[in-house]
Chain A
Amino acid sequence: MKTDDLVAMLSANVEVVDRRQMLRTLAGAIAVGAVVVLGAALIVLGGRTDIRSGEAPAFLAAKLIFAAAVTVPAFFYLIRLARPGEHRRGWMALLALPFVGIVGLASVSLVQAPAPHWQAMFMGDEWLECLLSIPIIAIVPFALVVWAVRQAAPTHLRRAGALAGLVAGGLSAAGYALHCTADSLPFVAIWYGGTILLCTLAGAVLGPRLLRW
């Protein structure tokens, strides 16, 4: 095939390109992913029933704020990484902030509590359920986000994969928070923070393979 012929073919009757196409695809994937996560948390696992009692609302809010602080910046960085080009790395620090924040708050609450309580604060009753649920619930949003990023043109696949994992893990954690009754900050720091990082790591490992184009 002659390159001139290809150029003629590609430029014949070119369509107008929608400026918002990329954002719409990614936002759509996130929206569908959020619905799936919500369904998994409220229908499959069941929402927490003790939501009116004591400190429950405050802890639910804390978990949701943590998950949102992880997911929202990660989503905006992912939009940038889905486009070809070099990207400033300063953003990475911003992505780490919520993790640093929750570890800081967890440390403060540990210092204020007597040492014999620590075991219960770390492990709660449902650490294993949390450890399994967040990564498993994250699978569907991860697949959707990867699909959306594949419609774009990432040139740093490992980083883009990691961000896709981070977004999916954050969404999944927000959903799991609606079910989870373990109300302690050290628990959130370890089992929420840890599983979200696990999702990020999985995304980084899978990215180069899943996102090639």
Chain B
Amino acid sequence: MSTNEQELKSLMTAGLDGDAAAYRALLERLSAHLRNYYRGRLARAGRGAFEAEDLLQEVLLAIHTRRHTYDRAELFTPWVHAIARYKLIDYLRRTNASHGDVPIDDAGELAAHADHDGVESSIDLGRMMAQLPVKMQRAIQYVKLDGLSVAEAARRSGMSEAAVKVNIHRGLKALSAAIRPGVAS
């Protein structure tokens, strides 16, 4: 656990300083860890494991858009755990009514489906992106999906570099909010 803490924390701080490879490694490790955590917790709450991937993706977006709230003077794993737990409780409350009466055979079918396709969520990124203002769509498309640099994206879209950054930031926050249906944000 403590070596885990040290490794994850150094990946996180490197990511905060702009090291994309370290940040990617961090998110990959957190994904594996949190997937197990959510599958276990959701099963215990009487929910299907297929919901775990939706929740995992919501949490990854939340971790990303709120990573500035991590205080480097503190341990990293408690920070992640607090977010993971907060999002689990929020998710269970939010979906209580709509999932409570899913017939058991339906749930079984979805769970079986999830077994061979467990790393894919029911969230449709393309459809969520389409809800965003065009500037945000473009900024995210160029920089986060096509992998262009901010400078290139600015040239191609006719925005300033600062505007590209702001639109990415706001767009990801909007996606993070949109991923929680039924909650005004």
- A-side residues, CB < 8 A to B, are 1-19, 21-22, 82-86, 152-153, 155, 212-213
**B97 CB–A CB distance under 8 Å:** no
A21 to B65 alpha-carbon distance, docked (Å) = 13
Find the A residue at minimum CB distance from B53.
Answer: A3
Find the B residue at minimum CB distance from A19.
Answer: B72
Q: Given A11-B20, A13-B150, A21-B68, does the pair A3, B57 have CB atoms closer than 8 Å? A: yes
Flag if A3 contacts B120 (CB, 8 Å). yes
Flag if B79 contacts A14 (CB, 8 Å). no
Which residues between 159 and 185 of chain B lie within 8 Å of chain A, taking CB atoms?
165, 168-169, 172, 177, 183, 185
CB-contact partner of B79 in A1, A4, A13, A84, under 8 A = A84
CB-contact partner of B20 in A12, A17, A86, under 8 A = A12
**B156 CB–A CB distance under 8 Å:** no
Flag if A22 contacts B68 (CB, 8 Å). yes
Flag if B57 contacts A1 (CB, 8 Å). yes
Which 8 pairs of residues, A with B, have the shortest CB-CB distance? A11-B24, A84-B82, A16-B18, A153-B66, A155-B86, A1-B125, A7-B27, A17-B16
A14 — which chain B residues lie within 8 A by C-beta? 15, 18-20, 23
A153 to B60 alpha-carbon distance, docked (Å) = 14
- B-side residues, CB < 8 A to A, are 15-21, 23-24, 27-28, 31, 35, 53, 56-57, 60-62, 64, 66-72, 74, 78-79, 82-83, 85-86, 90, 119-121, 123-125, 140, 143-145, 147-150, 165, 168-169, 172, 177, 183, 185
Flag if B31 contacts A86 (CB, 8 Å). no
Flag if A10 contacts B60 (CB, 8 Å). yes
Can you name 13 A-B residue pairings with CB atoms under 8 Å? Answer: A6-B125, A9-B140, A9-B144, A11-B15, A12-B20, A13-B143, A13-B149, A15-B165, A15-B168, A18-B68, A83-B71, A153-B62, A213-B66
Flag if A213 contacts B185 (CB, 8 Å). yes
Q: A92 to chain B: closest CB distance in Å? A: 19
Known: A14-B15, A152-B66. 10 other contacts (CB 8 A): A3-B35, A7-B24, A7-B28, A10-B27, A10-B60, A13-B20, A82-B69, A85-B82, A153-B69, A213-B177
A15 — which chain B residues lie within 8 A by C-beta? 18, 165, 168-169
B82 — which chain A residues lie within 8 A by C-beta? 84-86, 155
